[in-house]
Amino acid sequence: MTESRDRGRAISAFALALAVALLAAAVAGCGGGDSPTASVPGCKAVDAPEAKEVSLEAPKQTVKPGERLTAVVQTSCGEFEIALDTKRSPKTVNSFAYLARQGFYDGLDFYKVVSGFAIYAGDPTRDGSGGPGYTVVEKPVADTTYPRGVVAMAKELSEPAGTSGSAFFVATSEETGLPPEYALLGEVSQGYSTVERINDIGTPNEEPKVPVLIEKLTIEKG
């Protein structure tokens, strides 16, 4: 009788341990924003990058106003292209193109996703405070707006209008309502479905459900 009772207790303990292990595995599978095991249709499972500090010298102006340039942004959730606005923002585009050619953006993530508003990338510190070690200032005109598909440079509220480092955002709202404070970079010309995919994996704490990396950012002429 005692042996039977002990065997029953052992089986119950094993069943409880198994249930706890399965629950832990399920929770881990759901994961947070940094979990490479979580998955989203159309996105690769990747690790979030380590935060880092970068210090570069500001580049010389080589981009000509009106020059046709396109940024090709390959991400772990697909690809999109940005028609860079060299006419209205030659200084901003010049800095962005310089950083892209240095490989600065490769491996950085979309550190902030505000679904229905904008997606943010390009900050090596991953908290909105970092940059390349320098800034440029190119104040947009007074009637500038930031509707869906427009790409502009992010900045701290305390910084002068048109200040930019490396962080940028893609607007995902029909009208963000932002004041003309943010230096224009351009507009998404192809692959907006990738932007939507990233927009759709935002969470209430403004982090993506899974890490989304810029695998490669290149500049093409013409």
Same-domain pairing of 83 and 172: yes
Flag whether 43 is in a domain. Answer: no
Residue 213, domain member (yes or no)? yes
Structure confidence at residue 38 (pLDDT): 59
The pTM of the whole model exceeds 0.85:
no
Look up tokens 């305390």; give the residue: 158
Distance CA 70, CA 156 (A): 26
38 vs 186, higher pLDDT: 186
Q: Quote the number of domains for the chain.
A: 2
User: Is the four-CA dihedral 31, 32, 35, 40 of positive or negative sign?
Assistant: positive
- Where in the sequence is the domain holding 174, given as residue range(s)? 69-221
Tokens of 217: 């950012």
Residue 64 covered by a domain? no
The helix (run of H) or strand (run of E) holding residue 97 is helix 90-101
**71-84 average pLDDT score:** 98
pLDDT tens sequence across 160-184: 999 999 999 999 999 999 999 999 9
**Both 204 and 121 in a single domain?**
yes
| Spatial contact of 168 and 153, defined as CB atoms under 8 Å apart | yes
**198 and 104 part of one domain:** yes
Q: Is the pLDDT of residue 11 over 90?
A: no
Rounded Cα distance between 30 and 95, Å, is: 39
Can you say whether the dihedral through the CA atoms of 124, 129, 135, 140 is positive or negative?
positive
Residue 125, domain member (yes or no): yes
Q: CATH number of the domain that 206 lies in?
A: 2.40.100.10
pLDDT at 1 (0 to 100)? 47
The string of pLDDT tens digits covering residues 35-71 is 444 578 999 999 999 999 999 999 999 999 999 999 9
Answer yes or no: do 3 and 74 share one domain.
no
Residues 11 and 85 in one domain: no
- Does a structural domain hold residue 106? yes
Strand partners, 52: none
- Residue 52 domain-assigned? no
Q: Is 23 helix (H, G, I), strand (E, B) or coil?
A: helix
Of 222 and 111, the structure prediction assigns the larger pLDDT to: 111
- pLDDT beyond 50 at 106: yes
* pLDDT interval class at 222 (50, 70, 90): confident
